[in-house]
Each structure stands twice: as structure tokens, then as C-alpha cells.
Amino acid sequence: MIPVKGYAAKAAHAPLEPYQFERRTPGPHDVLIDIRYCGVCHSDLHKVRNEWGEGLFPMVPGHEIIGMVEQVGSSVKKFKVGDCVGVGCLVDSCGSCPSCKDGLEQFCDGPLVFTYGAYEKDGKTITYGGYSNKIVTREDFVLSISPKIPITQAAPLLCAGITTYSPLRHWKVGPGQRIGVLGLGGLGHMAVKLAAAMGAEVTVLSSSDKKRGDATRLGAHDYVVTSIDENLKKYACHFDLIINTISTAHGLPKFIELLKRDATMVMVGAPDKPEPFHAFPLILKRRSIAGSLIGGIRETQEMLDFCAAKGVAAEVELIPINQIDNAYERMLKGDVRYRFVIDMKSLT
């Protein structure tokens, strides 16, 4: 076993504190990674506060992991010591269900093993995430990080990046399409960058005017303040696709009206309360509301290669790990532009 240092929540709503535990000794198909950076996802906050239920504690969060390969198993073919690599939201899946066979492990029928706060396939070993200095992961769930992506800005691509890239690819976004991005936060800023890099005409839909300058800098072509009804009327039947990144109740009906005939709103944010709406706006224009998760390993690597080719990376603020609880509070206030990343050198 390998001794590991990390930060953990010992119970729901408890502050994170130093925590020592062990990783398995790498097997033939495993990669041992020295973690350099770990992104802070809003879902980390939900999980450590057990807001989604069934939390497993102590909990070491973190599923946006960037590091260097320290050791490889005897059968590992894709990686060597010294490679820059990443680990995202998944560390294992059944490998045999239809989704896994299609390279869509995120939709695995089970057992699907998340990077932290879950059980390994043995049903009893708890997974611990990237708020730690080392991780051991099966080769098939390790991702290659190009040197063209700044290492400090790569971690959020493994969740925020793939969460927005996957629906853009699935709905075949490209030049000539009008894409709306609802909400400009950790997810929204990646949606803007990626859609713009695909050649689409991107409009940010935000409740206030305070991020207009950022939206333009990130690649948006237009900006709409959604709290003013007259603004929304000008964009009726306008968008081919809306990526909805908002995680609180915000009134879906008025945004459904912005879709063209046969257009789709994709939900990637997860509001904590149901969002009521009437069926008629969907029926009368054959509009759709869909959901999208992250992406499979193949698509995540495709996204990373796309970002390297197009010069796309996350907007980050580096923090030491002892500031994580403060970072959570700032996240709740929207006081981050646009993603916290923990510098793991601060873990002592």
C-alpha cells in the first residue's frame, strides 16, 4: 500500500482537514500519479455537505486531477514515467454494458465507479479523490495532457470542459449556428470558449450586466441581460441550441421561447428544485429539453486534444489547499472567475 496525504471532510458539513490514508499498490494495468493540481467543482461542495444524500465519509473530494506519472504497471502501454496526465470524474466502469462498449462510460449500467465518494467494484473500498498528493488509477481511465495546455489551467477541463463539450459535439455545433449559453460561471465560461472555437455564433444569457466584458473576452459575440423581459423578446425563436448551466431555479418557460423550431435546450446545471413549465411551447415548435452528463474517456481525450489544437483552457484562480473551505464559501457567492484550482504543492 502507498501512504497518501490529503484533505477530507470527516462528516457532512464538517470543515475539510488534513487526512492520511492509503492507496493500493499499482497492479499490472495501473498508473501511479503524483498530483500537481486539482480543480474545485461545485459538485465537491454538494458532496461534502451531503446535499445529494448517501455521502460516504471521510470524503476526499476532487475529480479534476492533473499530475505526472510516477510509476506504471508491467502491462501499461499508453503511458510512461514523467508523462503529464489527468483523471476526471470516473475511475472505472463495468466495461461490458452497451454504453461502455460505445465508449460512453458515463452512462454505464453499473457498477460505475466515480473518482471519489463511491465504492470500488468490490463494493466495499471507498474511492478518494484529488485533494491528495497521489492517486492510483487504471490505465484505461487516465488521460493524456498536451504540453500546449498550460498545466495550471488544465484541471477544470476534466469536468467543466467535458460537461459542455459533450453536448456541443452531440448536437453537432459548428459554423453558422446560433448557440446560447445560459449562465456564465465555471461551466458557462467553458461552453462559450468551446462553442466559439467550433465556429458558432455565441450569445451569453446572464441575469446582470456585470460579466459582459468577460463574455466578449472569452469569445462571445453577443450578451443578453435576461432580467429585462424586453431583451428576451428580441431573441424569440433565435437559438439552434442553448446550453443551460444554471444550478438554481430560474424559470425555464421564458428561455424555452428563445429556441428555434426543432431546437434544443440542454441541461448541464442541476437545479435543486423542480422547474415547472407548460408543454405548449415545446409542442408548437417541436422544441426539446434534454440533459447531458460528462463524457466518456474517448470523448474526454478528444476534448483535450481539441483544446490543445485551438488554444482553449480554463480561467482559474490558484489556491492553497488550506483555503478550500473559504473557496467553497466564495463559490456560493459567485466570487470566482471562473474556477478554483488547488496547487497541491501547498499540501504538507
- Cβ atoms of 107 and 293 within 8 Å: the answer is yes
What's the pLDDT tens digit per position in 279-327? 999 999 999 999 999 999 999 999 999 999 999 999 999 999 999 999 9
What's the pLDDT tens digit per position in 232-270? 999 999 999 999 999 888 889 999 999 999 999 999 998
Give residue 271's pLDDT band: very low, low, confident or very high (50, 70, 90).
confident
| pLDDT for position 132 | 98
Do the first three CATH levels of 2-159+295-346 and 160-291 match, i.e. the same topology?
Answer: no
Whether 90 has a pLDDT exceeding 90, the answer reads: yes
Whether 152 has a pLDDT exceeding 90, the answer reads: yes
Query: What does the domain layout of the chain look like in residue ranges?
Result: 2-159+295-346, 160-291
Average pLDDT over residues 64-71: 98
Assigned CATH for 160-291: 3.40.50.720
Pairing state of beta strands 65-72 and 84-87?
A: antiparallel
Average pLDDT over residues 31-35: 98
CATH topology of domain 2-159+295-346: Quinone Oxidoreductase; Chain A, domain 1 (3.90.180)
| pLDDT for position 106 | 98
| pLDDT for position 54 | 87
Q: What percent of the chain has pLDDT over 90?
A: 94
Least confident of 43-57, 207-221, 317-331: 43-57
| pLDDT for position 63 | 98
